[in-house]
Structure 1
Amino acid sequence: MTSDLLHRIDSWTSLTVLVIGDAILDSYLNGSTDRLCREAPAPVVAVHQQLDVPGGAANTATNLASLGSRVVFLSVLGADREGERLRQALEQRGVSSAGMISSEQRQTLAKQRVLAGSQILVRLDQGSTEEISPELEQQLIDRLMTQFPQADAVVISDYNYGILTPRLLHKLKSLQSEFPRTLVIDSRQLSIYHPVGATAVKPNYDEAIHLLGLPKQPRDRAEQITPYGDRLLQLTGASIVAVTLDVEGAIVFEPGQPPIRTHARPAPQNQTSGAGDTFISALTLALASGASTTTASSLASTATAIVVQQPGTTACRAEELRQSIIDARSPSKLILDQSDLATYVQQYRAADRRIVFTNGCFDILHPGHVAYLTQAKLLGDVLIIGVNSDESVRQLKGNGAGQSFKRSAHGLICLKLC
């Protein structure tokens, strides 16, 4: 199972994904504070660092690239400093900005967060949210018509900030009908995408209960949503509906199948920004590579669990996802034969883990062994210990030698040599 998942991730490098949606510049001003200003009871923050990262649809594009695929990103920016900073942030993360249109008619969407330590004190939002002009709309449609047939998958990331116009949606429907693709949609207004023919949609909890007309509740959200899987599929027109539930994980529906439930690792609220973008990126790539809905849901949840352990708006790297899968399915200590060990070594090398090897008799385990094994473990990420067989020990030490050591210390992989 592990090798199948790793092979699936490896195959993502052959995929081209088209992303279209609202690009946002997420900017973090990190500093410290130890006093209030004289004008008002507000903290004075001494800024030490400014970090610009792609947000919104741009974060989805970044996650797709980080997970290994080639990304074509279509959006509209303002011809301003924020737009240039967003382009630079994308290029630094391996996403070409060539598909984005700059316009004097627009102001780039930007969300600037001021932090003291790890605490967000204030968020300042700016940018155009009205519908794009007919001229910009036509430019986007022209690029969409060129890129759609060449893509293996298409992701719509719609924050309702004016990029996805009715005319563009109509063109998307006709393209999907003529060139069926893995089409995944993340939108605050999913009902308008019903005619498009989506492979999957990803509403969050608030969006799902809005579609269903249900009241919001603070806990047991999966139990509240579960009876309405068929209704969500009907309302969205999608083949798969994946509802993300924050700390409760996600629940995934498809026709005629029991719901798929995934769970989340607890994480601070200020580290969950962009987690939905990671989920939809991994889900899209898994489905486009032919994975089952269960496998795709598992990979998406694993990738999301990685990014929510990191501060700010972040992306999951393919190497991190691979290693997480290896770690989850590998006990901390194993005794393997040579053929099984070769498989593990290949996986650890692919994940760029440093491997250390040593061997010994270990018929009598003494403090010297403990000291040198501890030192060996510090030299890398994985320590492989070759343990001489009983026959080998007797050849070296005579017939009176004791049984060879058969147990591994914590975190070690042992190989019994013949």
Structure 2
Amino acid sequence: MERREIESLFERATSVRALVVGDLMLDEYLLGKAERISPEAPVQVVEVSREELRLGGAGNVVNNLVALGCQVAVCSVIGTDENGDVLRRTLDEKGVVLAGLIQDPQRRTSKKTRVLAAHQQIVRIDRETKAPIGGVSEQALLVYLDAHLGEFDVIVVSDYLKGVLTPALLAALCRKGRELGIPVVVDPKGDDFSKYRGATVLTPNRKEAEVASGVAITDQESLEQAAGRMLATLELDALLITRSEAGMSLFPVRGEAVHIPTVAREVFDVTGAGDTVISVLSVGLACGLSLADAAWVANIAAGIVVGKLGTSTVSPREVIEEVGHALRDSDAKIKNLDVLEHLIARERNRGRKVVFTNGCFDLLHVGHVKYLQKARELGDLLVVGLNTDASVKRLKGEGRPLIEEKERAHILAALGCVDYVVLFDEDTPLRLIEALCPSILVKGGDYNIDQVVGREVVESMGGRVELIEFVDGRSTSRIIDKILSTK
């Protein structure tokens, strides 16, 4: 996937409605320094200098989805204790829909306290209820799901074995998700994966996959054997096994396995990495990505989050920048229209004058370069609309373009005078012009102003059309003819 595709993914993510079902908890961090041993017992004394309280468990999935811009609701059971009130208030402050959150006086809200010194965890203290939720709470969740499940684009199941995800609840989620065509993505726990039968995707780590399949994963052959057993018995669409430093392996029920290598990065803390994987994978599927592409983006996000302390999240900007590091600088200038529209609107609001031109730019030559440089001088930034290969073929005939669209886009983006490149598949750039509302519309001097597509749109907004002469004697057709004549 290219940077522009990742940008468009996160643009669409803001409209994704995600339901998180699972075990909510609080993660408390006590951070300080340990420089002496207690006189009371042979243990370190930690002088706490900072305290942090974060959403944990399924709450960290909520954090990740909110950070990605999604509209999030939760379906879970917590206690009526002080920690339950804090958890509910924290979710509410993040804009999470709480209609499916039940408070049960018989349960203790899970809270995990981690004591850290010099970035090392000294001890963890757990306060929680692990017993399955009672029949009244279970029925309340089932009623909520029956009434509201169809309102969501993806269901994210985060199981920490704290009792919320009963067999009846999981069965209802998977069955109804398939009936409604909504992906059900599960981060599983335990040794009995039969309770997840019928889910869309499971995301176990290597150890969990070993336990669930009964196969010790030591090499590629045993990995495939373990995946095959689970796919055969659990009626999944796919299985995504996370393998730490070995990356991820995606096994679709139909098609070839896809092995995604890990992103090279210093590992600081793996806590919550699985929550990031399932969140990004779910958003990708909700936005229409293929399983392979969604898993690829999730792998990038996981590589970022392990470089952070504790249960953390990743932002769209971090993922986009990480993808950009592996690609050429020109990639940052190539945008899809949905992303570019917002960027240009922001530039206009800052008072910047936007110049737009378009063309095939097949076999870029000095005439093109001089033309684009002159266009850029008319305003504060230049956007170039570039015909796709299909569009060029319709306009220029068989044998064209000579250079495919991705290469043409990168060549244009490498020019200092070009600020953004956007591809369009239509015969004319009218849709781009209507969306971007440029101040100045530029075409070559071989046009009459009345012939310029989009002139009325630009002039109606107070803009103008400028015609720029090409360098005399320079054209792609003449270069092609010269090459052919020398053969």
Superposition TM-score, scaled by structure 1 size:
0.76
Partner of 1:87: 88
- Contact (CA 8 Å) 1:275, 1:308: kept in 2 or not? yes
Determine helix, strand or coil for the equivalent of 1:33: strand
Determine helix, strand or coil for the equivalent of 2:44: coil
The superposition leaves residues 101-160 of structure 1 with CA deviations (integer Å, 9 ceiling, x where unpaired) of 222100011111001120110011110000111111111112212221111111111122
Are the structure 2 counterparts of residues 148 and 131 from structure 1 closer, same or farther at C-alpha, using a change threshold of 3 Å? same
Matches within 5 A, 1:157-306: 157-189=158-190, 191-195=193-197, 197-215=198-216, 224-265=222-263, 271-306=269-304
Matches within 5 A, 1:108-119: 108-119=109-120
Are the structure 2 counterparts of residues 129 and 170 from structure 1 closer, same or farther at C-alpha, using a change threshold of 3 Å? same
Are the structure 2 counterparts of residues 89 and 265 from structure 1 closer, same or farther at C-alpha, using a change threshold of 3 Å? farther
Partner of 1:153: 154
Q: d(CA) in 2 for partners of 1:230 and 1:244?
A: 16
The structural deviation recorded for 1:67 is 1.1
Q: Which has the larger radius of gyration?
A: 2
CA RMSD of the aligned region, Å? 3.1
Partner of 2:67: 66
- Contact (CA 8 Å) 1:52, 1:85: kept in 2 or not? no
Q: d(CA) in 1 for partners of 2:62 and 2:208?
A: 22
Q: d(CA) in 2 for partners of 1:207 and 1:215?
A: 10
- Contact (CA 8 Å) 1:24, 1:58: kept in 2 or not? yes
Partner of 1:140: 141
- Contact (CA 8 Å) 2:268, 2:308: kept in 1 or not? no
Structure 1: which 5+ runs fail to align?
355-387, 393-412
Matches within 5 A, 1:36-55: 36-55=37-56
Counterpart check, 1:129 vs 2:130: yes
The superposition leaves residues 363-408 of structure 1 with CA deviations (integer Å, 9 ceiling, x where unpaired) of xxxxxxxxxxxxxxxxxxxxxxxxx98xx9xxxxxxxxxxxxxxxx
- Contact (CA 8 Å) 2:239, 2:252: kept in 1 or not? yes
- Contact (CA 8 Å) 2:273, 2:305: kept in 1 or not? yes
Paired letter, 1:225:
L
- Contact (CA 8 Å) 1:62, 1:95: kept in 2 or not? no
The structural deviation recorded for 1:7 is 1.3
Q: d(CA) in 1 for partners of 2:328 and 2:93?
A: 34
- Contact (CA 8 Å) 1:19, 1:156: kept in 2 or not? yes
Q: d(CA) in 1 for partners of 2:44 and 2:265?
A: 26
Partner of 1:325: 323
Paired letter, 2:249:
I
- Contact (CA 8 Å) 1:17, 1:69: kept in 2 or not? yes
Are the structure 2 counterparts of residues 98 and 268 from structure 1 closer, same or farther at C-alpha, using a change threshold of 3 Å? farther
Partner of 1:360: none
Superposition TM-score, scaled by structure 2 size:
0.66
- Contact (CA 8 Å) 1:62, 1:94: kept in 2 or not? no
Are the structure 2 counterparts of residues 341 and 194 from structure 1 closer, same or farther at C-alpha, using a change threshold of 3 Å? closer
- Contact (CA 8 Å) 1:128, 1:161: kept in 2 or not? yes
The structural deviation recorded for 1:230 is 2.6
Between the aligned residues of both structures, percent identity stands at 32
Are the structure 2 counterparts of residues 100 and 344 from structure 1 closer, same or farther at C-alpha, using a change threshold of 3 Å? closer
Q: How many positions carry a matched residue from both structures?
A: 353
The structural deviation recorded for 1:273 is 0.5
The structural deviation recorded for 1:223 is 5.9
Structure 2: which 5+ runs fail to align?
348-368, 374-413, 419-470, 472-487
- Contact (CA 8 Å) 2:8, 2:336: kept in 1 or not? no
Are the structure 2 counterparts of residues 25 and 223 from structure 1 closer, same or farther at C-alpha, using a change threshold of 3 Å? farther
Q: d(CA) in 2 for partners of 1:126 and 1:10?
A: 39
The superposition leaves residues 321-362 of structure 1 with CA deviations (integer Å, 9 ceiling, x where unpaired) of 22222333234xx6x9xxx95759977x96xx99xxxxxxxx
- Contact (CA 8 Å) 2:157, 2:187: kept in 1 or not? yes
Are the structure 2 counterparts of residues 153 and 416 from structure 1 closer, same or farther at C-alpha, using a change threshold of 3 Å? closer
The structural deviation recorded for 1:263 is 2.2
Q: d(CA) in 2 for partners of 1:230 and 1:253?
A: 8
